[in-house]
Amino acid sequence: MDIKEYIESGIIESYVLGLASPEEAAELESLGKQHPEIKQAVDEFALLIQQQAMQDSIMPPAEIKQQLMDALSDEFEAPKVLIMQPGGNKEETGDTKVKQLPSFSFWRTIAAASIILFIISAAMNVYYYNNYKSASDKYEALLIEKNSLQANNNTYQTKFSNLEQSINILQDSAMRVVKMPGVPGKQDNLATVYWDTKTKDVYVLANNLQQTPAGMQYQLWAIVDGNPVDAGLIGDCDGVCKMKNIPKAQKFAITLEKKGGSPTPNLKAMVVLGKV
């Protein structure tokens, strides 16, 4: 397994954010025990998420603590009670541990404080959830962008490989070049056939062919002893298109046919013609 490719696949981020399936999570945890770099990647991304969540965190206002302390201060003072002395005299004392239980207002204040703390906790939970959701959405967007860039990169690599192959074909000394200029009335068109004199493989380069109308397609023909032979349909290829193998030919031509090709050419729809 390519560990670097596995780490860059997006499974680390999905695991940390709780988006991975149970099977993917189990696989990652197992691989993490075998490969320290996987565990390190998990820890680093988890730390990044934590830092992102704390970056814009907001502390509760300082006055809330003071308000709570002020609201509770009176309840924690020992209330004075009256104790009957011999002779009918009364004596005040502040000993509440033995003389008196907390008043009803004390419990009411405790309940109010609990509600305030609950509201603060709920607000903080909402805030951190919103931060998590924002980080998760950003990750999803980055993952989509990464996959899009990867797809584009693969497309460009394929096009580059095709162009490189085309250059090699054009430079091959065994290739016979057949220029096909536009026929009268269609002089703006131009195409070139490259015919391998050894293998008899045929390649065509659309130097300047008009864009085909909907439902139409260009078709290459080899003129052999005065008869047209189908040499293949010209598709959407990058650079030089490989056509059918043609053992011999005196001319090559291209006609505009219905999509999918025709067994015989429409001579009125011929666009280019060239002699071998």
Nearest to 15 by CA among 37, 36, 38: 38
Rounded Cα gap, residues 108 and 103, in angstroms: 9
Asked whether 117 and 72 are in contact (CB, 8 A), the reply is: no
- pLDDT, residue 9, reads 85
pLDDT in the model for residue 202: 93
- Residue spans per domain, the chain: 3-55, 62-152, 175-275
Give the pLDDT of residue 13.
81
Round to whole Å and give the CA distance between 247 and 244. 10
Contact between 178 and 276 under an 8 Å Cβ cutoff? The reply is: yes
The domain 175-275 is classified under which CATH number: 2.40.30, 3.40.50, 2.60.40, 3.30.479?
A: 2.60.40
Predicted local distance difference test score (pLDDT) of residue 96: 44
Sign, Cα dihedral of 31, 35, 41, 47: positive
CB 197 within 8 A of CB 174: yes
Q: What is the pLDDT of residue 159?
A: 55
Give me the residues of the chain with pLDDT under 50, please.
78, 81-82, 90-99
What is the structure's pLDDT at 21?
87
Q: Tokens in use for 49?
A: 């998420």
Answer for the pair 229, 276: CB distance below 8 angstroms, yes or no: no
Which secondary-structure segment (H or E) carries 119?
helix 104-171
Which residue carries 């095709």 as its tokens? 162
What's this model's pTM, rounded to 2 decimal places?
0.43
What is the structure's pLDDT at 97? 44
